[in-house]
Structure 1
């Protein structure tokens, strides 16, 4: 069986995430409203033979923002230039990127809220009038030279839309808010990925993965890959029991909590009596950075109803106490 499975591994799996990315809006699973809105935007632009309005994709990590940017370029049959906000720390960095764009090209800036302020101000003019001003020289002798740009479509992605300045946010013609996936949508994601990987997995196994994926396709695909590895190494079929065994090996419980999630929840319950506890204190108690707790762990625990945020700090809910197996106080 090992030899049979090995023969099924295609070269495309060298770029695993890329191999599973859908190539069109029709192939994209979930986000139905956003897909309809983007379809209308792109079709209208093609009918009018113009570049589409700039697009802002906002939402938590792993929901498909990068994939949607690639789909925009594919639908328009135009090249895609990818960069990120942290890579643009000076106006000159942005000027170099913008001046190299070809007519109709799609520019994707991931984590756009992390761009330098000077670059943001240059981007305002570029998005509206397709031109920028280049400063030459310093001091009293400095002069501004206008530079015309080729028309382009900017696709910005952000996990923290609230950090975008209003002047920048207002220059996007369309803002899409991506939502977490429902479990049936994640089942479709896993089923499609398993088909592309030629991995025969039982319906019960698909449900197990979807239920532990935290509403996020990226996590669902990652768990599927780990399950497939387990099946390959242990020479077992992709049935429900082997899926559960693989996920248990990687410390992913039935609610989708991993090791760090459980450590944070248990720390709130055991060490701080269920809270409230401050973020920095909680981070020190589990040996992690406060930013990791706040941006990675906490959103899921709150969304799952296991923990809440109060003005005084983080507090475990009744469900959170029950999940740790510690008797629930009468007050809850």
Structure 2
């Protein structure tokens, strides 16, 4: 770990100002991912700005009927919140499917959005990695790539985004609120993370010095039907091979509206608006769900070791949508 200066921010404005007056500064809150990266010299900040004591932990209803989640709310607090468990159960289930209880007690919402890939080639500095060192190459392309992307990847990077929470937030049309010296702005969740392209070192569309202050969930009348299905190598503390966040609104046997997002398949939570549009007006049948799974996986490019992910994703989509159509519940 490289030596760094440590300061404690007194307000969001103070944190933003410090980040812009100090070269190579980073924010730290729970530190559950950042500390790991510091230990192996992946991150080498000159200064860490502690934002963990800022007044950004509230979880409260909005006047529109949604919910506003402070960036420093812990994963545990979000998963256990009564309104989230009632109105957005797929978010609660997604959080509870990730990490251990001890990590969830420390990890924050803002930090979850900014966690980096768990690609082993990124963490092992012996190997080439364009995300770690732009222009060095991607060892995973010809390596053991069982856990890697089948959608949206590039020749520069095939890493996947590791978050369960973010897959749920993508499906729920969340909005990320950020603050900078220019003021406050809101970023639609599906525009927050980036695909790798030729700049995989950039995970998000945050601008320099911007601090995440909240995540806002709009009202979703059929959110109670939400399902989060996670397929993984073991049931405890394991990253997703495939995950699906799904919610369906039915009028009798006909689909009025739907939300669908995938994890474990791309550099960001994967959502296909065309698939949701296709579902509207269709009968809630296995045949319909098979058709939409084909739409979602169009353009999939499996690698040497992960071709199984294509069929696994299709089956997971069908299962999650079927359970949601039956009223939701544990997948």
Q: State the TM-score, normalizing by the size of structure 2.
A: 0.27
More strand, by proportion: 2
More helix, by proportion: 1
Q: State the TM-score, normalizing by the size of structure 1.
A: 0.26
